[in-house]
Structure 1
Amino acid sequence: MLQRVLWSALGAVALFYALVRFSLGYWKRRGILHAKPKFLWGNLKDVLGGKRHVQQVLQCIYESYKGRAPFIGCYALIKPFVLVLDLKLVPHILDSDAGYFTSRGLYHNVPAEPLSGNLLQLDGHSWRWLHAQCRTVFTPGNLQKLLPRLLQVSDRLQRGLGEAQLQQLNVSQLVDSYNVQAIATLAYGLNPGELPPDFGLMTRSYWSNWSLWRAYLALELPLLARLLRHKSYAQLATDYFYKLVLEQLQQQRRRDRQPLQSFLQLYAATDEILTDAQIAAQAFGFVLAGLAPLNASLAFCLYELALRPELQQRVRAEIRATLQQHEGALTAEGLQQLTYTKQVLNETLRLHTPYPFLLRRATREFELPKSVFVIARGNNVLIPIAAIHRDPAIYPEPERFDPDRFEAAAVRARPASSFLPFGEGLRGCIAKQLAQQQLLVGLVALLQHHSYAPCAETAIPMQYDNGKLLLMPKTDIKLSVERLDS
């Protein structure tokens, strides 16, 4: 018996070893240039060990192989990925030939976890149908109608800074409070300042049961994960958000002829009516895809301006001059006039890109134009946008914070697809304009009457949290804040 057990164990180990070696030989069998993988870890050993952020690893591979091929192969553990290196290939994947890359390949299980039926996670026909309905929601006209609600949230942010002449503040917590209230107001239809006490808690705890290995196995074996009813998010949080939407929709339907107050109203009025579960999933998408990157971007922006008082003063002068032109009120027209403030936000998104890469999956075989290279059906494609944003051939001295990079002439001089913080094309961020508006309104409220400077607890240089997929500060950003005379 002992001998049989021993031989069975050796056989299982040998089979496992052979399967791993076979998986890690995918690019070699195809004759594609690739980054040499480590056994079992692929090219992510340092990421999984917490030594480096995934952005740093992708940037290192990008810099090592750029110019040698339009794309190379790499591995996340034993899963093969295409890593795009040539900027000329990016528009094909995201725009002109996006029909070959309509999938992201993310795990979802709508019957067991209704909130996973959001635009970020869905693929295939379900995503196409839902995307067609949601395109009518995020129009410039609707954003303008909802701007007064966002301004109510920003007014609360400004008042909440207090009257103290000099104070040290946790800026990360400050911007989180603003963005949580904005999402609660715009996505869920709650009144600013009247949030249920659990709302903020649930926005931070819905991923409390997240496990890297379970998430990876769900991506690799989605059919088995669905059979086992694997759930990506904490049940308590998803139940809370689902119930909240149902309650808000019931209240909304009891009212007659109400002005536009939230995106729930817009989702409920699409051409082909969405179910309550589908509306709840889209509302959850604001938290899932928007909250963390908006928090990081606004906090990073204040951090960079705190280190550069001359740039901060220039932004504040533009904000005050624009408000003065519009009798002290922030309007849609006034937001358009904040040219330099937008440049500062764009430079923040370039240097501290929240999503380090874009993910696509080929749904059909794609042959690169005028090339022998082929992206096979089922290949997962990574576009390393953070590495592109730090490419010195595109952005000289890429580690330097310089908003002048986004002057109109400088933007025209750069290659297409060299700035993609929100993605682009068919599967780009559908709420891009809303996110930009929310960042801009928040920055106006934060800078109009207050100045920011480093304090003893400000981390210089900035360090990123290697345990997060998104580019996030390792510790909360803390700054000295001083109230200025009007």
Structure 2
Amino acid sequence: MELLHRTILTTLGALSLIYVLIKFSLGYWKRRGILHEKPKFLWGNIKGVLPGKRHMYEALQFIYDNYKERAPFVGFYACIKPFVFVLDLDLVRHILVTDAGHFTTRGLYHNVNNEPLSGNLLQLDGHKWRALHAQTKGVFTPSNMQKLLPQLLQVQAEFQNTLATKVKERQTINISELVDNYNTDVISSLAFGLSGNSLQFPQTEFHQMTRNYWNNFKLWKAYLSLEFPTLARLLQHKSYDECASEYFQKLVHTQLQQQRNTQRRDGEQLFNFLQFFSATERPLSDVQIAAQAFGFILAGMVPLNATLSFCLYELALKPELQERTRLEINKVLQQHNGLTAESLRELKYTKQVLNETLRLHTPYPFLLRRTTKSFEVPKSVFVIAHGNNVIIPTAAIHRDASIYEEPLRFDPARFEAKAVNVRSDMSFLPFGAGLRGCIAQQFAEMQLLVGLVALLQHHRYTPCADTVIPLQYDTRKLLLVPKTDIRLIVERIDSK
């Protein structure tokens, strides 16, 4: 009886202590005197997000709509973790560009010793990120991107040829799988030095591993690793499937050895990122190169798949826009005898279509930063303290009716030059901006543009009985992706 009594008292004491700590954490913004939405116990301002009942972007949109223009930022809680929720675009510019030196950290979980693939540019922070960024920024120069174009066009041609043999008459196609095959081919070839056609051979080991590496992902696990990174490292928490991690590391090591043992004349060489990472002024180790190659899958695969899928979905619903895009593609390609660096630059309307897709269906609905030193907000009495976590609601900004009239309407004309020039450059942030913006933005844009050309040049897309209208997002994911695969009718057409 005495033991039971002690156990009950100990449990009650522990629960009371936890309760006090949670209440203390949820009182952070009140103690600071910062305007904020009253948090719910345990959930903060994201009730329903972790169980998958609503998407994170919805929680952010609610705060943005209710507090915009009331302050440059407000307090926000992701469960019990306090965040600076940025509302003012001038403050966004200070954080991402002008005073980016105060915000060089993202605060993402990584554990290089236990999980080497987490040592990529997306996840690393502090001196490790600064050193790696200095070593690799020369990889993503415009001249290197041009060197990659022939290899990208080869992948595109193989994909397009296979697509032509598979689609000979009107039929319903899983668009999500279709664009995934294209992006898998691009990343396997240009980031890992492989060759193959996923549309023709979809069950390759590489193809499977790009789907399996995050098999155990749970929103609550990701949150706990962010909230308690030291404990997660002590418990040797791993974000990625071990078999997939071992596969990518071995694959890169094998590919690097083959490239080092193969001599080619410059005129015959097709370049890939493994070569560029190997040739940096301060060479990276094989493990570091593997982490950077994996970064293309981690940061690029899902958002690129979603963007092309959403784009075809929107064009299927608006056949006049689809036809205009196709006419431009065929006209420009005819003038330049195919895809070249010059013809890609002239696909202005096609780029507008992609940008409007990125605006309306922003893959990354928010950006994260953490202050490395206190920052006084210009023209105000506010201070973002050292160590504060910062969240910039990109999807909410992209759907701000004061910036984009009728924001839920798909309209590529928003990205005509005259329209872009009257908006703040911080009103469109699909790749972030500044020091910790997407370092591979130019390559990602080129990959999307070449992919859309391949998909639209000879094929028309229309809705079918299986097309979910209106579109729904998967509330179990942090990124904006379709809840179910997008399916459309695809038919082969002759070029005009």
Q: Which range, TM-score by smaller chain?
A: over 0.9
Aligned-pair identity (%)? 67
Aligned twin of 1:206: 213
Measured after TM superposition, the shift of residue 432 of structure 1 is 0.3
Measured after TM superposition, the shift of residue 257 of structure 1 is 4.1
Measured after TM superposition, the shift of residue 437 of structure 1 is 0.4
Q: For 1:268, which of 278, 281, 293 is the aligned residue?
A: 278
Asked if the contact 1:81–1:381 (Cα under 8 Å) also holds between the matched residues in 2, the reply is yes
Say yes or no: does 1:174 pair with 2:178.
yes
Aligned twin of 1:295: 305
Q: What does the per-residue CA deviation read over 1:208-248, in whole Å, with 9 as the maximum and x for residues that have no partner?
A: 12233332222222222222221111100000000000000
Asked if the contact 1:354–1:421 (Cα under 8 Å) also holds between the matched residues in 2, the reply is yes
Separation in 2 of the partners of 1:6 and 1:102? 46
Aligned twin of 1:324: 334
Measured after TM superposition, the shift of residue 260 of structure 1 is 4.2
Measured after TM superposition, the shift of residue 50 of structure 1 is 2.1
Separation in 2 of the partners of 1:60 and 1:189? 44
Aligned twin of 2:319: 309
Aligned twin of 2:192: 188
Say yes or no: does 1:221 pair with 2:228.
yes
Q: For 1:396, which of 375, 399, 405 is the aligned residue?
A: 405
Aligned twin of 2:469: 460
Q: What does the per-residue CA deviation read over 1:370-414, in whole Å, with 9 as the maximum and x for residues that have no partner?
A: 211010111110000100000000000000000000000000011
Measured after TM superposition, the shift of residue 104 of structure 1 is 0.3
The 3-state SS of whatever aligns with 2:138 is coil
Measured after TM superposition, the shift of residue 159 of structure 1 is 1.8
The 3-state SS of whatever aligns with 2:172 is strand
Structure 1 counterpart of 2:279, which letter? Answer: A
Asked if the contact 2:50–2:220 (Cα under 8 Å) also holds between the matched residues in 1, the reply is no
Say yes or no: does 1:136 pair with 2:138.
yes
Structure 2 counterpart of 1:287, which letter? Answer: I
Structure 1 counterpart of 2:6, which letter? Answer: R
Q: What does the per-residue CA deviation read over 1:253-294, in whole Å, with 9 as the maximum and x for residues that have no partner?
A: 101245242100000000101011100000000000000000
**Stretches of 4+ moved more than 6 A in 1?**
none
Separation in 1 of the partners of 2:211 and 2:322? 30
Q: For 2:26, which of 24, 27, 33 is the aligned residue?
A: 24
Separation in 2 of the partners of 1:151 and 1:192? 14
Separation in 2 of the partners of 1:124 and 1:185? 31
Asked if the contact 1:362–1:381 (Cα under 8 Å) also holds between the matched residues in 2, the reply is yes
Tell me the TM-score normalised to structure 1 length. 0.98
Aligned twin of 2:247: 240
Say how many residue pairs are matched. Answer: 485
Measured after TM superposition, the shift of residue 480 of structure 1 is 0.4
Aligned twin of 2:126: 124
Say yes or no: does 1:372 pair with 2:374.
no
Tell me the TM-score normalised to structure 2 length. 0.96
Separation in 1 of the partners of 2:226 and 2:476? 19
Measured after TM superposition, the shift of residue 192 of structure 1 is 3.3
Q: For 2:88, which of 78, 86, 91 is the aligned residue?
A: 86
Q: What does the per-residue CA deviation read over 1:46-86, in whole Å, with 9 as the maximum and x for residues that have no partner?
A: 21232211111101110000011100011111000111001
Measured after TM superposition, the shift of residue 135 of structure 1 is 1.2
Asked if the contact 1:152–1:192 (Cα under 8 Å) also holds between the matched residues in 2, the reply is no
Structure 1 counterpart of 2:44, which letter? Answer: G
Aligned twin of 2:392: 383
Residues 1:279 and 1:150: Cα distance change in structure 2 (over 3 Å): same
Separation in 2 of the partners of 1:86 and 1:413? 17
Structure 2 counterpart of 1:453, which letter? Answer: T
Aligned twin of 1:54: 56
Measured after TM superposition, the shift of residue 165 of structure 1 is 1.9
Q: For 2:485, which of 468, 476, 484 is the aligned residue?
A: 476
Asked if the contact 2:167–2:491 (Cα under 8 Å) also holds between the matched residues in 1, the reply is no
Say yes or no: does 1:350 pair with 2:359.
yes
Moved more, 126-135 or 424-433: 126-135
Moved more, 461-470 or 218-227: 218-227
Aligned twin of 1:433: 442
Measured after TM superposition, the shift of residue 156 of structure 1 is 2.1
Measured after TM superposition, the shift of residue 205 of structure 1 is 0.8
The 3-state SS of whatever aligns with 2:195 is coil
The 3-state SS of whatever aligns with 2:75 is strand
Separation in 2 of the partners of 1:214 and 1:350? 29
Asked if the contact 2:167–2:490 (Cα under 8 Å) also holds between the matched residues in 1, the reply is no
Q: What does the per-residue CA deviation read over 1:89-141, in whole Å, with 9 as the maximum and x for residues that have no partner?
A: 01100011000000001111111111000000000111111111211111111
Structure 2 counterpart of 1:192, which letter? Answer: G
> Map of 1:140-159 to 2, 5 A cutoff?
140-159=142-161
Asked if the contact 2:375–2:386 (Cα under 8 Å) also holds between the matched residues in 1, the reply is yes
Moved more, 216-225 or 104-113: 216-225
Measured after TM superposition, the shift of residue 163 of structure 1 is 4.4
Measured after TM superposition, the shift of residue 14 of structure 1 is 0.9
Say yes or no: does 1:231 pair with 2:238.
yes
